[in-house]
A and B are shown apart, each in its own frame.
Chain A
Amino acid sequence: MDRLEHFASVLTERSFFDALAAPLCVTGDGVDRVTLYLKAETSDFIRFNHAAVRQATHVSQGYATLAVVHGARRIESTLSLTGRLDTDLATLLAERSALQAQLADVPDDPYLQLPEAITSSSRHQTGVLPSPASLVRDVAAAAQGLDFVGFYAGGPVVRAFADSRGQRHWHHVESFHFDWCLVLAADKAVKSAYAGTHWDDSEFARRVAVGAARLPLLAQTPRHLDPGAYRAYFTPTAMGELLGTLSWSGFSAKARRSGTSSLCRLERRDAALHPGLCLREDASRSIAPAFTADGWSKPAIVSLIEAGCASGTLNSPRSAREYELEANGANAQESPEAMWLAPGSLAEADALAALDSGLYVSNLWYLNYSDRQACRMTGMTRFACFWVEDGQLAAPLSVMRFDDSFLRMFGEGLMALTDRAELIPESGTYRERQLSSVTTPGALIEGWRLTL
């Protein structure tokens, strides 16, 4: 079976979506608006353990969310699609009729807000992806003699939107994401990733070799630290975990207004972040679609923090109507999809020298709020974290728990941000392959609080 046939699925073809949208997105019989949103993908999922294949899965899936609106009433239904046009169209038409009938039982929603502008967009990016057989060979060759454990996900991903007023948005990207650990022993490992749209065997092999070269450092006797405050350098990957946790309620307009956001103190000016901190939702740098599931176009940039002060929130259309704000392309959860933290001035190559003595934190793990009102987070160090002395990696660290306020860490505690922001694509595959990302530099922090 060749690659074209392997990934061939009408579910990710525009002609299939258009053929569904045209007869479905039609008003009448007490319906003012009909919308259709498609999430589809054809994916290879291959997981490895001990440099061998644990599971190899090919998934073809498509989900259509159909919504009908009358006045201030809305109801929606999501259906899996077979890829057989006649079958899917008949199913969706029947569902539309059922939704129309149920609209009568739905109360008016005073906060319902739908886009007024009629916009359309199209992005269609093709790629070059490995076949499962060649990927398995590549891993076997590159990981020979290594305890390689990892996960490859690749194939086309589609998001599409249509409505009865003529809106049409299309987003099709063929991409891959492969991340892996080279494990020395127990929880000591070097984690690496390779993501993009055009697979290159030699680049993959090079990245595995770079990781392998770092393994001897992990073989040294680990340093056990006592709880206390330490200077620490966070790599962009570790920063992605901190910013990802901050995204959990931090920028949501609804959470701010209902007092449950972790950044309420920042907004009230009871606390301030470092004046050098600038954080934005930057769709222009994003791998996510430029439109939402409700057909709203995303602005290029939404300012969230400027000069260390709260400067904006992510406003879903519903929150915007409820709190009399301007909707700004946020999803229903009001969580960032393309967060960008402005780089600073510390040359990345000088980060260890600037740290001098302290922790080099390659990865963080399992973060959560320990006191959301105080924006206090807890979590663990993971993988290849090191104790640094005189600007040199001195010894691997035994895993440590931290419990510290983000407002303190990135307020009075922030010493410097590095001068290069790295794009970290979301690797999650819950329900479907994710398209969000965080772009962030590394950070040097004073007084990071370790507790266990």
Chain B
Amino acid sequence: MLDQLESIARRVAPAVQQWAVRGVEETSEELVVRQNVAQAPSRCRDGGVMVSVVDRGGMGYAATADSSEAGLAAAFDEAKSLAHATAGRTVFDFSRLPAVTARGRYQSRVEQPASASGLKDKLELLASASAAAKLDDHIIDWTASLWTVDAEQLFITGDGGRAEQRFSFVTPNVQATASINGVTQTRSAHGQYNGFCQQGGLEVLARANFAADASRVAREALELAMAPQCASGEMDVILMPDQMMLQIHESIGHPLELDRILGDERNFAGTSFVTLDMFGHYRYGSDLLNVTYDPTRSEQLASFAFDDDGMPAQRQFIIERGILQRPLGGAVSLARARALRGDIDGVATARASSWNRAPIDRMSNLNVEAGDSSLAQMVASIERGVLMQTNCSWSIDDSRNKFQFGCEYGRAIRDGQLAEVVRNPNYRGISATFWRSLAMVGDASTFQVTGTPFCGKGEPSQVIRVGHAAPACKFSRVAVFGGET
């Protein structure tokens, strides 16, 4: 489909102020072995085109999977009709958007293409991991899974822009549930809802230590089922990278999305406690907090060369030495924001979940930069606290301020030493002050590249892949609590 798209688009595009065509082709395969039984393999092949038209100051989008000349012409008609129907009644005069002329390519770095490995081999790999997770009879449920995706995208504009991008994503996971004396606990390799999600081919499995990780996951599930509840009280916490992922995502990423700040999401995903006047001077965190938008880390889930509005992507500081620098907003939001504050800056992060959704501001790769503390130094600095690993519960308010998060696995810390495993470790806080309690930032030895394939937002709703890389971090005087069961 994509090989003909540009020529057809340029042939049938109407005479309008601006137009763009974004074609997407994506193939995926999901394999699951649960309790040593392979479930029916499921694969998907999805392709289609989103057409956008700016005319008379209005803007319209139309999506179709029919990329023939007639199909694309009909989509252009729909988009143009919507642009005219909304002209004069839009949040912004879209004719003021800058022309998109960028040209270039991006391709995921892939060493072992997933498609080169046969179904039988992949199922055997999962069967092996599944078998390894059944450590003893207290393991009552266990699963190994592998999700692979290859996606190709071509973005063409009437102003001569052309961005061709090819992505490969691999998400393995292992999960085990243990039950001992009426206590049931679930442990996963990298989050029950995320997995170890990265760009690349099957070499991602080695980076995830997939072949050997199942027994570790099951062992830790057993530890949790025998562990005491996490203590309650105000104490220091160390968040490991697979919990930092969620902490960054919910209490830095979402509040800094420019469309939230502009009010677009108030009916669904919510607003933000951050306002346009804060950029450039607001103290978001302690001096140790350095946050980057980084689309250049090749293995990370949301690396790319252009966002879905064709804006070139480059690494930028979002928060530097604790001070808020710029929001997460693409070209459309940026143009709207600049009408309110002329010096506001942004990053290339307007993205769509697929061909059938229009781009909106997302967070892409949003990372906390490594510091200079080893994990041992952080543990040694804590008299009473808890180390938390792997998110399993998340909740935050409309303005992305009051949050409560829970983890799968905790280790008590006493007198500078790691102590017993604890179950149901939870903590709560307020975004506007929490990051100011960042007391130590882990060095490169604690740094991990993680993310989630399931960031939800938007009307219509969109699930998108985002990356979060982070070191382990220590926060002081956090409200911590455990569970009841």
- Among A54, A105, A374, A428, which residue has its beta carbon within 8 angstroms of that of B264? A54
Q: Is the CB of B120 within 8 A of A259?
A: no
Question: What are 9 A-B interface contacts by the 8 Å CB criterion?
Answer: A53-B58, A76-B43, A80-B46, A105-B120, A105-B123, A149-B267, A259-B184, A365-B398, A430-B462
CA distance in complex: A258, B143 (Å): 12
Q: Is the CB of B38 within 8 A of A376?
A: no
Among A59, A61, A105, A187, the one with the most B-chain Cβ atoms within 10 Å of its Cβ is: A59
- The smallest beta-carbon distance between B18 and chain A, in angstroms, is 15
- Chain B residues within an 8 Å CB radius of A74: 40
CA distance in complex: A181, B89 (Å): 18
Knowing A79-B44, A187-B271 touch, does A53 contact B86 (C-beta < 8 A)? yes
Question: Which single residue of chain B is at the shortest CB-CB distance from A147?
Answer: B263
Q: Does B82 contact A (CB under 8 A)?
A: yes
- Chain B residues within an 8 Å CB radius of A54: 90-91, 264
Binary interface encoding of chain B residues 240-251 relative to chain A, with 1 for a CB under 8 A from any of its CBs, else 0: 000000000000
Interface residue total, chain B, C-beta cutoff 8 A: 82
Q: Does A122 contact B (CB under 8 A)?
A: no
CA distance in complex: A191, B83 (Å): 28
Question: Shortest 8 CB-CB distances between A and B: which pairs?
Answer: A371-B483, A151-B459, A429-B460, A373-B485, A258-B141, A259-B184, A133-B85, A57-B61
CA distance in complex: A188, B356 (Å): 32
Residues of chain A whose beta carbon lies under 8 Å from any beta carbon of chain B: 1, 6, 43, 45, 47, 49-50, 52-63, 67, 74-84, 95, 102, 105-107, 109-112, 131-133, 136, 140, 147, 149-151, 153, 179-181, 183, 186-187, 189, 191, 258-260, 264-265, 318, 365-371, 373-374, 376, 378-380, 382-383, 399, 401, 403, 405, 428-431, 451-452
Among B450-485, those with CB < 8 Å from A are 456, 459-463, 479, 483-485
- The smallest beta-carbon distance between A433 and chain B, in angstroms, is 8
- Chain A residues within an 8 Å CB radius of B177: 258-260
- Chain B residues within an 8 Å CB radius of A428: 461
- Chain B residues within an 8 Å CB radius of A57: 60-63, 82, 357-358, 460
Q: Is the CB of A107 within 8 A of B123?
A: yes
Residues of chain B whose beta carbon lies under 8 Å from any beta carbon of chain A: 37-48, 58-68, 71, 77-79, 81-83, 85-86, 89-91, 118-120, 123, 140-141, 177, 179, 183-184, 186, 262-264, 266-268, 270-271, 356-358, 360, 393-399, 402, 404, 406, 424, 426, 428, 430, 456, 459-463, 479, 483-485
- The smallest beta-carbon distance between A183 and chain B, in angstroms, is 6
CA distance in complex: A429, B353 (Å): 12
CB-based A-B contact count at 8 angstroms: 256
Among B60, B89, B184, B424, the one with the most A-chain Cβ atoms within 10 Å of its Cβ is: B89
Q: Is the CB of A1 within 8 A of B81?
A: yes
Question: Which single residue of chain A is at the shortest CB-CB distance from B404?
Answer: A378
Q: Is the CB of B184 within 8 A of A373?
A: yes
Q: Is the CB of A111 within 8 A of B397?
A: no
Q: Is the CB of A365 within 8 A of B426?
A: no
Q: Is the CB of A380 within 8 A of B41?
A: no
Question: Which single residue of chain A is at the shortest CB-CB distance from B430?
Answer: A452
Q: Is the CB of B397 within 8 A of A75?
A: no
Q: Is the CB of B78 within 8 A of A58?
A: yes
Among A52, A147, A431, the one with the most B-chain Cβ atoms within 10 Å of its Cβ is: A431
Q: Is the CB of A58 within 8 A of B63?
A: yes
4 other A-B residue contacts (CB within 8 Å) besides A109-B39, A140-B89: A57-B62, A59-B356, A75-B40, A83-B64
- Chain B residues within an 8 Å CB radius of A399: 397-399, 402
CA distance in complex: A52, B59 (Å): 12
CA distance in complex: A428, B66 (Å): 25
- Chain A residues within an 8 Å CB radius of B262: 49
